[in-house]
Structure 1
């Protein structure tokens, strides 16, 4: 039996059948994309209520990256815990500690990790399982440094686990759809996070850090986002606030030199 491609393979590219096939494929792809965007919450309002952030010992990886990278980091942590990816809800939390109106994309600081429950033996075992990964990670770091592959040190799998205590506090809470895909990551970065941070700037004490923490359920297709209303500085876990981080970024910028420009040109046009 011949399929549609075999029936049209001898026809020219400009034939009506080819054009029709192309339009049908485009229509299907557009429909899938629109459906994904709708499921990801583009029409869903970010409604903020009051609740309680659970708090507890937090075993985490600290990164300076685009905030969308938090989802991939959580996947890595589920692998380190040997649990299914769809069981991360209320276990894995991301903590975004920079006000992104002040920091350029890709330079935001966040943490991703396990928020433990001291009354749960399972949670305590998970904590130990993550921290026990550090010796192996340290060996990888040493190898990368010897090879001078320093860029790889920024990858989540090459970052050590740390631990600290996050307080249980009254928080602003928002629930938002989640599809565990790139569109959900975009919805968070460009809709949920700006809305939560704007709300925080309007309601928390002036000078207090703008912090957002999130946990997501793949099974329920929903994320819960928190803005701590008190003790937000404790969520930084000893790190400087956004203003100080911004100053450090400005200091670390190297001015363009003739040698660096020449080096860049050689990559494009060898000479």
Structure 2
């Protein structure tokens, strides 16, 4: 059974080491802080054999060279990672990566950047989604367009509801404040926000998060909900138009 070691790094990133005990292989999911990854792998007694990048931003691919130099691992990621350094393997939507006997499906989730990918492991029931989606949020739209980003979120929405989403940042508390502003009548959201406050007060992480909960509470995943569309129709959204509603929500979050 796969093991996941999650640890905080930089100011608000999470590092993830994905380990297959059977094969002994270990993958870094993104590399925000090479020193932290090497230290944590050492503490676990795991040999890093792969890096899987979700996108090119330095807090996701900036540690590639140092980790590869120290471990001899191979680097896989979307073509945009070449802005940092050429990966050993370029992956795109529909490709598959392997960690031991486990297969990871590459999903296009562009919008935050134009080449962003997620890694979905159906046998393990989990997905590493980088900055495409967060607990109660989604990534800022630095490079993409609203229709592109909404299509990406729909690919995530289509995964089995029990899928655990491993997001790259601890943004949930601030995301909850905007979500409550965007969707104040959502009772499940209010309960979730209260849970988040308690978890953070105790210093606990709020990710991973089950997709089922995000489908019910995350306003960015609910831009196709008629009630939310109606609420945002006077703020740039449009009833019956998921893309316009998503764009209005994202623009509002940018200045919230």
TM-score scaled to structure 2, two decimals?
A: 0.21
TM-score scaled to structure 1, two decimals?
A: 0.20
Q: Larger helix proportion, structure 1 or 2?
A: 1
Flag the structure with more relative contact order, 1 or 2, with Cα contacts below 8 A and sequence separation at least 6. Answer: 1
CA radius of gyration, larger in: 1
